[in-house]
Amino acid sequence: MNPSLRRVFEFFLIFNIVFASNGFAAKPHLPPCVGYATEQSLIQNQPKAQWADYVEANGGRAPIRYPTLEAALKSGKVFIIRSEMKRELTEAAGMLDSFVITPESLLKDIQTTRSINIYLKDKNLKNFYKRQFYASKYATRYAELVGLKPSQLMKEASFSFWEYIPGYNRMMIADSAIPNRYHLYTTAEHFLNYTIIDQGNIIYSKPHPLSEAMKSDLPNVIAFYDSIHHLDHLKPNNCPAIEFETQMKNDQLIHHFLQVHYTHDFAGATFVLNRAMKQGEVLASFVRGATPPEGIQVNVTLDFDMEDIRAKKPGSYQASYEFYKDVPYREVMSRRVVIHFSSNDIDWMVLKSMGDHILKSENFNPDLSIGIKIENLFPNLEQDLHPDGKKMSKIVYRVRVTSDGRTAYLQNLGVVSTTPFVLPIWVQNMRNLGQ
């Protein structure tokens, strides 16, 4: 075996004697408010670990948090190196990676294995954080988007060490327009589900069905969410996204807090949209958020310029469809747009939103989130993109939106502006070199 791997495996697999002799075995979990780093400044930037302490101190459950990487390795258990950054609570989520540590993962993830091994030799926690920061796929791009050098953002980052609890990973968000309406994501290996609970009733639950035990447990899930939502240190009017793990143990479903993110503040609907649609209006397949009874008008930007995406800076769109895969850009924009549009029906939106945090953030950070097939709202899009045979890379429509938080009617009021397509500089340079 590679000597580097052997050193890590010694900690991870054969330290049971040392583990017991140090007294760790007598502690089923650590007491609240333990330290997570030697430097006090680093502790202040660990919202996940600190919130787990706070939840536990108020009677909730959370996985074990190990005080050090050595303690996590000595436990002999599967654990997670979880990213921590103070701005994750109120700004971008999911910009740093977390790393599940198992004997199998140590064989596959050589970069993390090497990083752990270096730490075990030099005991330099800051350098360990730095290596894991740069191993995160979105970190550098996110730093660019918020006007920081990667080294500046890296100083805000740290990592905490958590027991891994197998089960169902879940996220619940209270609706921002309808009281007692909740959105619940549930994922596991080969299992995906998105459920909307409205006044205690399941009104949507796909694609995989919840088990009868999970359906019966929904009141407990809501109670678990509300118990955290109403803690003193959370903004009382916000509708936070609370992530937790549901474990089946002795025929009971047990919920373990993982983290919290702010989404949109509650802004209750003031009317019921029960009129017939007017001429020119179309029905959205999904809506979250409400407008005044008379509706609102917004400029909706369709940006097809994906060639030079790395040069994009956060825009000032009122509303937009996002067609590109720059996840950090979309995460930043989710808190800047009034409305996020998704060009899918609700079933496809559910499948799409089961991945990165951003695919959920887009549905819950803006004032409104709307799902509607682009061809239904803009039936002449192809013609509008190619006026007089020219190719446009960006087009802006004026759209009226009327929503009561459950139903939304949309009306396309016409094209506001278009932007001609221009080849990216690097393509122009390549062509010039070939001439």
Residue 306 CA: distances (Å) to CA of 46, 194, 241, 388, 399 = 35, 30, 30, 23, 24
Distance CA 155, CA 134 (A): 12
Same domain, 197 and 178: yes
How confident is the model at residue 20, as a pLDDT? 31
Same domain, 256 and 363: no
Q: What confidence tier does 358 reach under pLDDT thresholds 50, 70, 90?
A: low
Taking residues 373-377, what's their average pLDDT?
A: 92
In a domain, 334, yes or no: yes
Same domain, 159 and 179: no
Same domain, 108 and 81: yes
In a domain, 275, yes or no: no
For residue 353, pLDDT over 90 is answered with: no
Distance CA 352, CA 362 (A): 11
How confident is the model at residue 253, as a pLDDT? 96
Same domain, 214 and 141: no
How confident is the model at residue 16, as a pLDDT? 36
Same domain, 226 and 149: no
In a domain, 274, yes or no: no
How confident is the model at residue 234, as a pLDDT? 87
For residue 432, pLDDT over 90 is answered with: no
Domain boundary among 163, 193, 214: 163
Total number of domains in the chain: 3
How confident is the model at residue 83, as a pLDDT? 92
Same domain, 362 and 320: yes
For residue 3, pLDDT over 70 is answered with: no
Distance CA 247, CA 168 (A): 7
Q: What confidence tier does 251 reach under pLDDT thresholds 50, 70, 90?
A: confident
For residue 434, pLDDT over 60 is answered with: no
In a domain, 73, yes or no: yes
Same domain, 82 and 29: yes
Mean pLDDT of the chain: 83
Which of 31 and 58 is assigned the larger pLDDT? 58
Residue type, 251: D
How confident is the model at residue 25, as a pLDDT? 29
pTM of this structure: 0.85
Taking residues 254-270, what's their average pLDDT?
A: 96
b/e burial code for range 3-34 (CB count within 10 A of at least 16 → b): ebbebbbebbeebeeebeeeebeeeeebeeee
Same domain, 8 and 155: yes
Helices (H) then strands (E): counts for the chain: 17, 18
How confident is the model at residue 38, as a pLDDT? 35
For residue 149, pLDDT over 60 is answered with: yes
Domain boundary among 163, 194, 216: 163
Taking residues 173-194, what's their average pLDDT?
A: 95
Q: What percent of the chain has pLDDT over 90?
A: 55
Secondary structure E strands in 266-305? 281-283, 286-288, 296-303
In a domain, 22, yes or no: yes
Residue type, 23: G
- pLDDT tens readout for residues 289-343: 999 999 999 999 887 765 555 566 776 778 988 766 788 888 888 888 899 998 8
How confident is the model at residue 329, as a pLDDT? 85
- pLDDT tens readout for residues 394-428: 899 999 999 999 999 999 999 999 888 765 565 55
Domain region containing 218? 168-261
In a domain, 276, yes or no: no
Which of 431 and 303 is assigned the larger pLDDT? 303
How confident is the model at residue 186, as a pLDDT? 94
Same domain, 9 and 35: yes
Which of 347 and 413 is assigned the larger pLDDT? 413
Q: What confidence tier does 270 reach under pLDDT thresholds 50, 70, 90?
A: very high
Same domain, 349 and 200: no
For residue 370, pLDDT over 90 is answered with: yes
- pLDDT tens readout for residues 240-250: 999 999 998 88
Reading the block at residue 302, the tokens are: 């369709």
Same domain, 286 and 390: yes
Q: What percent of the chain has pLDDT over 70?
A: 81
Domain boundary among 202, 227, 261: 261
How confident is the model at residue 165, as a pLDDT? 94
In a domain, 304, yes or no: yes
For residue 11, pLDDT over 90 is answered with: no
Considering only CA atoms, which of 354, 359, 364 is closest in space to residue 327?
A: 359
- pLDDT tens readout for residues 209-233: 999 999 999 999 999 999 999 998 8
In a domain, 238, yes or no: yes
Taking residues 159-168, what's their average pLDDT?
A: 95
What stretch of H or E contains 396?
strand 392-403
